Structure formats: structure tokens, C-alpha cells
Amino acid sequence: MTSASTPSPRASNRTLRRGLRVVGRGFRQQPKALFVAVVGSAIYGVMTVLTARVIGSLTGNVVEPAVRAGEISGAQIWTIVWQLGLVVLLTVVGVVLRRAGAGFAFFNLQAIYRRRVTGQYLRLPLSWHHRHPSGQLLSNANADVEATWNVFQPLPMAIGVLVMLVVAGAEMLRVDIPLALIGFLVFPALFVANLVFQSRMSPRVTRAQQLRAEVSEVAHESVEAGLLVKAMGREDQETQRFAERTDQLRDAAIRVGRTRGTFDPVIEAIPTLGTLAVLAVGTSRVGSGAIEAADVVQIAYLFSVLAFPVRAFGWVLSELPRTVVGWDRISSVLDEQGEMAYGDRDPASPRAAPNGSPG
């Protein structure tokens, strides 16, 4: 069984560059949809940080006075409702725009390249088809096209996360520099953990993608040549051949799951540890009168909500190797030369029989 090894830094950089070139091709072909997705993602990123600011402000201006007074007025409740409602509404708008734009671009690119690949199949001569198994051709038009453009599902969110991190960094510096320094340690740690996760995950995902194509190829060959297999008494051999491929695919998928299971708790734990550090340092600074309790709530909330979006970087990086592999496989079809040669006889007009009667 072929085992996936960790790629060298040079190979990873080459994969990253080639993957970004494919991403650029997708942006050029679907600029409007991806522009909507990026704008929506930026709105989502800014609103996520502003939600933390609003929660901090409400804690200091509404919740603390209400706790001290032992009661809360209708005006205070209305203040909480409209301020939180406004930022939540704008966040929802950003999420809808991001997902709608990314989904439209993703499925449109799939449709475009499936039509191009199948159109190329119709143009290429029979001699080319004889050299390429039908299962491989099905994989090119289906799984490989999907793998090529699947990166556009997490990509707009990753772009929005960049905006979110910039705004969050500025907001933390505005609130309190010592607490901001904790954030500046946690966010790079999250990014490094995602990079390591990508370097381990990418070869395993790529191997699984290749094995999916091989399973499809073996299955299609066995079904297509079913009569020949039965006539030659090769059922057991074909069953064994298919079982070997499916077992390899199962093992590859298990390795992907184990890698994800190892890194997911680590990536989840980093922002939690950061939140605990913020609470520890923040409590001390609140006790000394340097900051207010609302400031600690705001920073702690930022840590809690940024953990999940930052993982979008890891999703994009883990998709890029599949993007490169898928693009190589479909471009090898699109770059082929040659056309099917046709005769000049019209098949709709019947030929005359030798005795003059219709054939």
C-alpha cells in the first residue's frame, strides 16, 4: 500500500503557488459572484468584532448598573435588544452574501468545466478514448472537477477572517495593551497549528482523492465488461481487485480522520487557553483599577468567537493540494489535441439497393 509522506517545504511552497494560480483563474471567471462573497465575508468579520464591542459596552453601561440596582428597566432591555439585534442582523447579511456568492461561484465553475471536459471527450478521436479507461474519464468529469473548485467554499470566509483579525487586533489595542499581547500570542499559535495541520493533512487527502478515482475506474471497468468477465470466469479476480482498492480507500480515509482527530482538540484548546489567560490577567487589572470588567468581557468574547473562523485558513490550505491534483487531471484532458473524423455521407438518406429498390 502506498503511504503518504509529509511533503518537503519546497514541494509545499510549489503546491501553494500552483493552487493560488488555479484560485486566480476561478476569480477571473466568476468575478461578480466572488466579489459578493468577499464583501459579505468582510461584513461578517467586522460585525463579529463589533459584536464583542457592543457586548462589552452593554456590560458596562446596562448590565452592571442593573445588577447594582437589583432591577432592570424597560429602557435598558430595549437598549440591549436593538443594539444586539442590529449587529446580529448585519452579521446575518454578511453570512448570506458570503455563502450565496461562494456557492454560486463554486457550482458555476463546476458546471463550466464539466461541460468543457465532456465537450472535449466528444471532440477527441476514438484512438484517444481507447488509451484512457472509462472510469478515469468519469472521474475527470466528476470528482476531479469538484476537487479543483472545492477551495472556493472556505476561501471567502478565510478572506473575511483576515479582515476580522486586523479589526480585532486594533480593537484589543484600544481596550488594553497587556490583554492585546495575549491575543497577539494566541492568534499566531492558531495559525501555526493550522499550518502544521495542513502539512500533515494534505498528502493524506490527496491520496484519498486519487484512490476515489481508482475505485471508480475499477468499478466502471468491471461493469462495462461484465459479460466478458462472466464468460472468462474472472468474477473472483475482479471482486478481489475491487476489494483491494476499496480497502486502500478505507485506510486512506481513516488516516485522514485520525489526523483530524489529533489536531482538532489542539486547535480548539488554543483559544480556550487564551480566554483563561485573559480572565486571569484581566481580573488582576480590574482589581488594580487599570481597566473595567466590561473590557475583560469584550476581549474574552473575542477569543471565543474567533477560534472557529481562524480555522478557515486550515481548510483553504488543506484544499489547495486537492485543487492542484484535480486541475492537473482535468487540464490533461483539456490540453489534448485532435478531433473525431467523420464521413461525408448523410445517415438520414437511405442508400439504393443494387436492384434499384430501397435498401
Distances in whole angstroms, Cα of residue 232 to Cα of each of 54, 111, 121, 218:
74, 40, 30, 17
Cell of 29: 471567471
Question: 109-116 long-range CB contacts below 8 Å, 24 or more apart?
Answer: 109/26, 109/29, 109/30, 109/148, 109/149, 109/152, 110/145, 110/146, 110/149, 112/29, 113/145, 113/148, 113/149, 113/330, 114/141, 114/142, 114/145, 116/334
* pLDDT value, residue 355: 55
* pLDDT value, residue 5: 45
Which of 319, 205, 317, 310 is closest to 266 using CA atoms? Answer: 310
Rg (CA), the chain: 29
* pLDDT value, residue 66: 83
* pLDDT value, residue 349: 60
Do the beta carbons of residue 306 and residue 271 sit within 8 Å?
yes
Burial label for 110, CB within 10 Å (0-12, 13-18, 19+), is middle
Q: How many CB atoms sit inside 10 A of residue 77's CB?
A: 12
Do the beta carbons of residue 193 and residue 309 sit within 8 Å?
no
Per DSSP, 358 falls in state B
Find the DSSP H helices in the chain.
9-29, 31-58, 64-69, 74-123, 126-130, 134-139, 145-149, 155-175, 177-224, 226-231, 235-287, 293-334
Cell of 308: 472557529
Whether the model pTM is above 0.85? no
pLDDT tens by residue, the chain, 359 residues: 344 444 555 656 677 788 889 999 999 999 999 999 999 999 988 888 888 888 888 888 888 888 888 888 888 888 888 988 898 999 999 999 999 999 999 999 999 999 999 999 988 888 888 888 777 788 788 888 988 998 898 888 888 888 888 888 888 888 888 888 887 888 788 778 877 877 777 778 778 877 877 787 777 777 767 777 777 777 788 788 888 888 888 888 898 888 888 877 887 788 778 888 888 888 888 888 888 888 888 888 777 777 677 767 777 877 787 788 889 888 888 888 877 666 677 766 655 545 555 54
